[in-house]
Amino acid sequence: MTDDSGTREIEAYVRRLTGALQPLPAEERSAVANEIRSHLADCAARGEGSLARAVDAMGVPELLGRSYVEEYRLAGALEKGSPLRLLAIVLGLTARGLAGFVGALVVLKLYLIGATCFLVAGTKLIEPDHVGIWIAPNYFALTINGPPPPAPVPELLGYWIVPLSVMLGVACLLGGTRLLYFVGRRILKRSARRLVAV
Protein backbone atom coordinates (compact mmCIF):
# COMPACT_ATOMS: atom_id res chain seq x y z
CA MET A 1 0.00 0.00 0.00
CA THR A 2 1.37 3.43 -0.89
CA ASP A 3 1.30 6.08 1.84
CA ASP A 4 0.18 9.67 1.25
CA SER A 5 3.64 11.08 0.55
CA GLY A 6 4.34 8.23 -1.85
CA THR A 7 1.06 8.84 -3.63
CA ARG A 8 1.84 12.54 -3.91
CA GLU A 9 5.28 11.78 -5.33
CA ILE A 10 3.81 9.35 -7.85
CA GLU A 11 1.12 11.79 -8.92
CA ALA A 12 3.68 14.59 -9.28
CA TYR A 13 5.78 12.38 -11.54
CA VAL A 14 2.79 11.27 -13.62
CA ARG A 15 1.57 14.88 -13.90
CA ARG A 16 4.91 15.98 -15.35
CA LEU A 17 4.96 12.97 -17.64
CA THR A 18 1.43 13.68 -18.84
CA GLY A 19 2.44 17.26 -19.61
CA ALA A 20 5.24 15.97 -21.83
CA LEU A 21 2.83 13.58 -23.57
CA GLN A 22 0.46 16.32 -24.79
CA PRO A 23 1.16 15.71 -28.50
CA LEU A 24 -0.17 12.15 -28.14
CA PRO A 25 -3.87 11.34 -28.58
CA ALA A 26 -5.75 11.45 -25.28
CA GLU A 27 -6.30 7.69 -25.15
CA GLU A 28 -2.64 6.91 -25.70
CA ARG A 29 -1.55 9.59 -23.23
CA SER A 30 -3.86 8.18 -20.60
CA ALA A 31 -2.64 4.61 -21.21
CA VAL A 32 1.01 5.59 -20.80
CA ALA A 33 0.30 7.64 -17.67
CA ASN A 34 -1.76 4.83 -16.10
CA GLU A 35 0.93 2.27 -16.77
CA ILE A 36 3.70 4.37 -15.27
CA ARG A 37 1.50 5.19 -12.28
CA SER A 38 0.84 1.47 -11.79
CA HIS A 39 4.55 0.68 -12.02
CA LEU A 40 5.52 3.31 -9.47
CA ALA A 41 2.75 2.16 -7.11
CA ASP A 42 4.01 -1.43 -7.35
CA CYS A 43 7.54 -0.23 -6.62
CA ALA A 44 6.40 1.86 -3.66
CA ALA A 45 4.68 -1.21 -2.19
CA ARG A 46 8.06 -2.95 -1.99
CA GLY A 47 9.19 -0.86 0.92
CA GLU A 48 11.11 2.19 1.95
CA GLY A 49 13.41 3.58 -0.67
CA SER A 50 11.91 1.51 -3.48
CA LEU A 51 9.84 4.35 -4.87
CA ALA A 52 12.78 6.73 -4.87
CA ARG A 53 14.91 4.14 -6.69
CA ALA A 54 12.15 3.53 -9.21
CA VAL A 55 11.68 7.24 -9.91
CA ASP A 56 15.41 7.57 -10.35
CA ALA A 57 15.47 4.61 -12.74
CA MET A 58 12.56 5.98 -14.77
CA GLY A 59 14.50 9.17 -15.39
CA VAL A 60 13.27 12.72 -15.86
CA PRO A 61 9.56 12.51 -16.77
CA GLU A 62 9.88 15.13 -19.49
CA LEU A 63 12.59 13.06 -21.23
CA LEU A 64 10.59 9.87 -20.87
CA GLY A 65 7.58 11.64 -22.34
CA ARG A 66 9.59 13.04 -25.21
CA SER A 67 10.81 9.58 -26.14
CA TYR A 68 7.22 8.33 -26.35
CA VAL A 69 6.17 11.34 -28.44
CA GLU A 70 9.09 11.07 -30.87
CA GLU A 71 8.51 7.40 -31.44
CA TYR A 72 4.77 7.90 -31.86
CA ARG A 73 5.23 10.69 -34.43
CA LEU A 74 7.89 8.89 -36.40
CA ALA A 75 6.11 5.53 -36.37
CA GLY A 76 2.87 7.25 -37.36
CA ALA A 77 4.43 9.10 -40.28
CA LEU A 78 6.14 5.93 -41.52
CA GLU A 79 2.90 4.00 -41.28
CA LYS A 80 0.60 6.57 -42.87
CA GLY A 81 2.89 7.10 -45.85
CA SER A 82 2.93 10.90 -45.76
CA PRO A 83 6.33 11.99 -47.15
CA LEU A 84 5.94 15.68 -46.33
CA ARG A 85 4.93 14.99 -42.73
CA LEU A 86 7.75 12.49 -42.38
CA LEU A 87 10.21 15.03 -43.81
CA ALA A 88 9.10 17.64 -41.28
CA ILE A 89 9.52 15.18 -38.40
CA VAL A 90 12.88 13.92 -39.64
CA LEU A 91 14.17 17.49 -40.00
CA GLY A 92 12.99 18.22 -36.49
CA LEU A 93 14.76 15.18 -35.11
CA THR A 94 17.95 15.38 -37.15
CA ALA A 95 19.38 18.16 -35.03
CA ARG A 96 20.57 15.33 -32.80
CA GLY A 97 22.34 13.26 -35.43
CA LEU A 98 24.75 14.24 -38.21
CA ALA A 99 23.89 11.28 -40.46
CA GLY A 100 20.19 12.00 -40.22
CA PHE A 101 20.79 15.69 -40.89
CA VAL A 102 22.84 14.98 -43.99
CA GLY A 103 20.24 12.46 -45.14
CA ALA A 104 17.45 14.99 -44.67
CA LEU A 105 19.38 17.61 -46.65
CA VAL A 106 19.94 15.17 -49.51
CA VAL A 107 16.21 14.37 -49.52
CA LEU A 108 15.36 18.07 -49.66
CA LYS A 109 17.76 18.57 -52.56
CA LEU A 110 16.28 15.65 -54.46
CA TYR A 111 12.77 17.04 -53.96
CA LEU A 112 13.90 20.48 -55.15
CA ILE A 113 15.62 19.03 -58.23
CA GLY A 114 12.50 16.99 -58.95
CA ALA A 115 10.29 20.05 -58.68
CA THR A 116 12.65 21.98 -60.94
CA CYS A 117 12.50 19.23 -63.56
CA PHE A 118 8.70 19.41 -63.62
CA LEU A 119 8.95 23.18 -63.91
CA VAL A 120 11.28 22.78 -66.90
CA ALA A 121 8.89 20.36 -68.59
CA GLY A 122 5.87 22.58 -68.02
CA THR A 123 7.60 25.80 -69.05
CA LYS A 124 8.94 24.19 -72.24
CA LEU A 125 5.38 23.55 -73.36
CA ILE A 126 4.36 27.15 -72.67
CA GLU A 127 7.50 29.05 -73.70
CA PRO A 128 9.48 26.66 -75.91
CA ASP A 129 11.96 29.29 -77.10
CA HIS A 130 12.92 30.22 -73.56
CA VAL A 131 13.61 26.78 -72.17
CA GLY A 132 16.38 24.47 -73.25
CA ILE A 133 20.05 23.63 -73.34
CA TRP A 134 22.23 25.48 -75.84
CA ILE A 135 25.75 24.33 -76.57
CA ALA A 136 28.28 25.77 -78.98
CA PRO A 137 32.05 26.38 -78.99
CA ASN A 138 32.66 28.89 -76.19
CA TYR A 139 28.97 28.95 -75.32
CA PHE A 140 26.81 26.95 -72.93
CA ALA A 141 23.44 27.87 -71.46
CA LEU A 142 20.77 25.98 -69.53
CA THR A 143 17.80 28.29 -69.44
CA ILE A 144 14.40 28.15 -67.84
CA ASN A 145 12.21 31.02 -68.95
CA GLY A 146 15.28 33.06 -69.76
CA PRO A 147 16.12 34.87 -72.97
CA PRO A 148 16.97 32.57 -75.86
CA PRO A 149 20.60 32.70 -76.96
CA PRO A 150 21.69 34.58 -80.00
CA ALA A 151 21.24 32.63 -83.20
CA PRO A 152 22.56 30.41 -84.68
CA VAL A 153 23.41 28.39 -81.50
CA PRO A 154 21.36 25.18 -81.73
CA GLU A 155 19.25 24.00 -78.83
CA LEU A 156 20.33 20.53 -77.78
CA LEU A 157 17.19 18.57 -76.87
CA GLY A 158 14.21 20.34 -78.38
CA TYR A 159 10.94 18.96 -77.04
CA TRP A 160 12.76 15.85 -75.80
CA ILE A 161 13.55 17.94 -72.77
CA VAL A 162 9.92 17.49 -71.70
CA PRO A 163 9.82 13.69 -71.23
CA LEU A 164 13.42 13.64 -70.02
CA SER A 165 12.68 16.27 -67.38
CA VAL A 166 9.53 14.44 -66.30
CA MET A 167 11.45 11.15 -65.99
CA LEU A 168 14.27 12.80 -64.05
CA GLY A 169 11.75 14.60 -61.84
CA VAL A 170 9.90 11.37 -61.04
CA ALA A 171 13.21 9.60 -60.34
CA CYS A 172 14.29 12.37 -57.95
CA LEU A 173 10.96 12.34 -56.12
CA LEU A 174 10.86 8.56 -55.82
CA GLY A 175 14.52 8.36 -54.82
CA GLY A 176 14.12 11.16 -52.31
CA THR A 177 11.04 9.51 -50.78
CA ARG A 178 12.78 6.13 -50.48
CA LEU A 179 15.77 7.79 -48.83
CA LEU A 180 13.44 9.70 -46.50
CA TYR A 181 11.75 6.49 -45.29
CA PHE A 182 15.15 4.86 -44.87
CA VAL A 183 16.38 7.79 -42.75
CA GLY A 184 13.12 7.78 -40.77
CA ARG A 185 13.41 4.07 -39.97
CA ARG A 186 17.06 4.49 -38.96
CA ILE A 187 16.20 7.34 -36.61
CA LEU A 188 13.35 5.29 -35.14
CA LYS A 189 15.67 2.34 -34.48
CA ARG A 190 18.31 4.61 -33.02
CA SER A 191 15.87 6.38 -30.72
CA ALA A 192 14.58 2.98 -29.50
CA ARG A 193 18.12 1.82 -28.73
CA ARG A 194 18.92 5.11 -27.03
CA LEU A 195 16.09 4.48 -24.59
CA VAL A 196 17.56 1.16 -23.52
CA ALA A 197 20.17 2.49 -21.17
CA VAL A 198 21.29 1.23 -17.86
Partner 1 sequence: MDMNSWQAQLRKGAAELVVLATLARGEAYGLQILDRANKAGEVVSDGALYPLLTRLEKAGKIAARWDTEQGPNPRKYYRLTSEGEAMLGEMRVLWRGFRSMMDNLV
Report if residue 98 touches partner 1, rule: CB under 8 A: no
* Cβ distance to partner 1 smaller for residue 54 or 131: 54
Q: How far apart are the first and last CA of the chain?
A: 28
Residue 39 or 85 with smaller CB distance to partner 1: 39
Nearer to partner 1, 58 or 164 (CB): 58
Q: Which is nearer to partner 1, 13 or 111 (CB)?
A: 13
- For position 161 contacting partner 1 by CB under 8 A, the verdict is no
Query: 185: which DSSP letter?
Result: H
Q: Is 139 left (phi over 0), alpha (psi -120 to 50) or beta?
A: beta
Task: Report the number of secondary-structure helices (H) and strands (E) in the chain.
Answer: 7, 2
- Contacts of residue 194, defined as CB under 8 A and 6 or more positions apart, other chains included, come to 67
Dihedral Cα 46, 52, 55, 59, nearest 10 deg: -140
> Is 39 among the residues that bind partner 1 (CB under 8 A)?
yes
Per-residue binding string, partner 1, 61-80, x by CB under 8 A, is ---x--xx--x---x-----
Q: Write out the residues near partner 1 by the rule CB under 8 A.
A: 32, 34-36, 38-39, 41-43, 45, 54, 57-59, 64, 67-68, 71, 75, 192-198
